[in-house]
Chains A and B, each alone.
Chain A
Amino acid sequence: MNITRLDKARDLKFKRQVEEESGQNLSTCYQCGKCTAGCPGAQVYDRQVSQIMHAVQLGLKEEALKNRSLWLCLSCSTCSARCPNNIDVAAVMETLRMMARREGWVQDRPIESFWKAFLDTVHATGRSYELGVMADYMGRTLRGWGNLEIAPMALRKNKMPFIPSVIHGRKEVARIFKRYAEKRS
C-alpha cells in the first residue's frame, strides 16, 4: 500500500467540481457515518459512502471515483433523508458516477452493461421490455444466470411477454438518444 502524500495528492479543484455539479457543500460533512449506517448497499460496497465523501473532502480523485460502490448505489436516498448536515448524499454519489464514467473509470461492467441494455431497448422501441433487456444483458455479459431461477414462475404467470411494445414516436425517442450521444462526443 502506498502512503498518500496529502500535501501533493490533494486536488481541491476536484472537490470544487463535485460540489458544483452536485450542488452540495461537502465541507459540512463531519464524517458521522449515518449514511453508511443506513445504506442498503453497504454490505457489497468496496468503499463506504462516508469514506467516499471523505475522499472528496480530501480531494483524492481516484479514491473517490475508482470504486464499485458508485455503481452498486441503489439510489434509494436513505443517506440524503438522514444526513444531519442536509447533504443530498445520493446526488453526490450520482455526480461521482457520471464523473467516473467521463474519466473512463467504470468499475462495474455488469451493472453498466445492464443500464446500457436497458437504454438500448428504450432507444429502439421507445419503451423498456423486460425480456429483451434480460436477453441483451445476458448476451453482453454472459451473466445474470441467477435470474433464471425466477424465470419459470415469471413465464408461468405470463409476466414476461415475448413481444415488445413499440411506440409510434419511437423515432422521436431515438432522436433524443442520438442528440445525447452527439453532444457527449
Chain B
Amino acid sequence: MKYAYYPGCSGHGTSVEYEASTRAVCRALNMDLVEIEDWNCCGSTPAHSVSHELSAALSARNLMQASKTGADCVISPCPSCSSNLKMARYRMQKPAFKARVDELLDAPTPANAEGGADLMETCSVLQAIVENVGLENIASRVSYPLEGIKVVTYYGCLLSRPVQVAKFDDPENPVSLDNIMKALGAEVLPFALKTECCGAAMGIPDVNIPGSLSGRILDTAKAVGAEAVITACPLCHMNLDLRQRQAARISGKPFFGLPVFYYTQMIALAFGLPKDAMRLDKLAVNPYPLLDKIAERRKVRVSAELEAMKAAGAAS
C-alpha cells in the first residue's frame, strides 16, 4: 500500500533512530512510503496553543502537498504530528473554520460536498502497521524473537486522544504496542501509566516538569520489573531516555538504567534487519546489556532445542 509519508522535524534531530527504523521496518513490511515533497513543520503544540487557524493552516499546506503523492493516506511516526494533521482535517470539516484557514493560505483548500475541506486523512505509522499490515504479518516475519524480555509499553498522550479525533485504540488502556511486542516475543508487563503524560516539551522552559513526571513513569516501570520501556513518540523518548538521569535526580531516585526503545527498533531487531535500520548507537541509556541478555537466552534456547532434536533423532 502506498502512503504519503510525513517524517516530522524531530526525525532530522532528536529522533534520527526512529526515522531510520521506521523507514526500514516499513520497507520490510512492503509499505510504500512516498515522502511528502517539501513538507513544513506542523507547528506542534506552540501553534495550536496560539491559534487553531494558524495550526490548521500549517497542517493544511502539508496535506495539500500530500495529495500530489497519489497516496490515500498520510502517515507519520510522530504522534504529535499525526494528531495535528488529523485535528486540522477534523476542524476544517466546518466550513466557517475552513474559510478562516483558507484566508491564511496562498490557495484555498479544496472543498467537499458539505463545504468542509477535502483533505487527505492522516494516521500514525503505528496505526497503519496494526490495522493495515496486521499482527500476523509481523509475527510471521520474526526471525529473532525477543526471548521473553520483560517490557512495559508507553504510549503517551496523543496516540489515542482526543478520542473523537484519534479514533485509534483505547484512550485508557491502549494495547496496539503490547500486541506488537508480544508478536515479537517479548513479555509485556501490565503497566498503569501507559498514557500518563511525560511532560512533553515543558522541559525547555522548566526541566522539573518532565523530570518529575517521567521520573514517576520510569520508577513505576522499574518497580513492576520492566527491563525496557517501549515507546512510539520522539518527545516521550527524549524525556524518558535523554533526560533519564535528570529525571532520576529531580525525582530523588537512583539512576534507573532502563533502556528506552522505539517499537520500530524492536521490530527491526526481531526481523534481523541490519544495524543501520536500528541506530541503537543513538540511545542515551545503554541498551547493550539487555541485548546481550537476549542473545544469551537465545543461545540457551537454541541449544536446548538442538539437544531435544538430537534426542528425538536418537530415539527414532
Contact = CB atoms under 8 A, between A and B. Distances in A.
Question: Quick check: do A and B touch in the complex, using CB within 8 A?
Answer: yes
Interface of A: 40-41, 43-44, 72, 74-78, 80-82, 88, 90, 94, 97-98, 101, 108, 110-111, 113-116, 118-119, 122, 126-131, 133-134, 137, 141, 143-144, 146-147, 149-150, 153-154, 157-161, 165, 167-170, 172-173, 175-177, 179-180, 183-184
Contacts of A41: 209
Contacts of B163: 80-81
16 contacts: A74-B157, A94-B48, A119-B43, A127-B9, A127-B41, A128-B41, A129-B13, A141-B205, A143-B205, A157-B282, A158-B16, A160-B13, A161-B13, A169-B38, A179-B104, A180-B51
B43 A122 contact: yes
B46 A115 contact: yes
A128 B44 contact: yes
A73 B154 CA distance: 20
Contacts of B103: 179, 183
Contact of B40 (A114, A158, A169): A169
Contacts of A82: 172
Contacts of A133: 204
B58 A75 contact: no
Contacts of A110: 205-206
B9 to A, nearest CB: 4
Interface of B: 9-10, 12-14, 16, 38-41, 43-54, 57-58, 61, 103-106, 157-158, 161-163, 171-172, 195-197, 199-209, 212-213, 242-243, 245-246, 281-284
Interface of A (DSSP majority class): helix
Q: Which 7 A/B pairs are nearest by Cβ-Cβ distance?
A: A146-B207, A115-B46, A76-B157, A40-B197, A76-B197, A118-B46, A77-B161
B162 A180 contact: no
Looking at A41, A82, A134, A168, the one whose CB has the most chain B CB atoms below 10 A away is A41
Contact of B104 (A114, A165, A170, A176): A176
B49 A115 contact: yes
A44 B207 CA distance: 12
A149 B205 contact: no
Contacts of B53: 180
A159 B242 contact: yes
A75 B38 contact: no
B58 A147 contact: no
Most buried by A among B14, B41, B47, B172: B41
Nearest to B160: A81
A74 B200 contact: yes
B200 A153 contact: no
Contact of A74 (B16, B202, B245): B202
Nearest to A159: B14
A122 B282 contact: no
B199 A81 contact: no
Contacts of A98: 50-51
Given A78-B157, A118-B44, A149-B245, 11 more contacts: A74-B202, A75-B45, A78-B196, A114-B46, A126-B41, A128-B9, A146-B208, A172-B61, A172-B106, A173-B40, A183-B104
Contact of A144 (B157, B204, B212, B242): B204
Given A75-B45, A122-B40, A160-B14, A173 B61 contact: yes
A56 to B, nearest CB: 18
B246 A150 contact: yes
Contacts of A76: 157-158, 161, 197, 200
Given A147-B203, A167-B39, A169-B40, A90 B12 contact: no
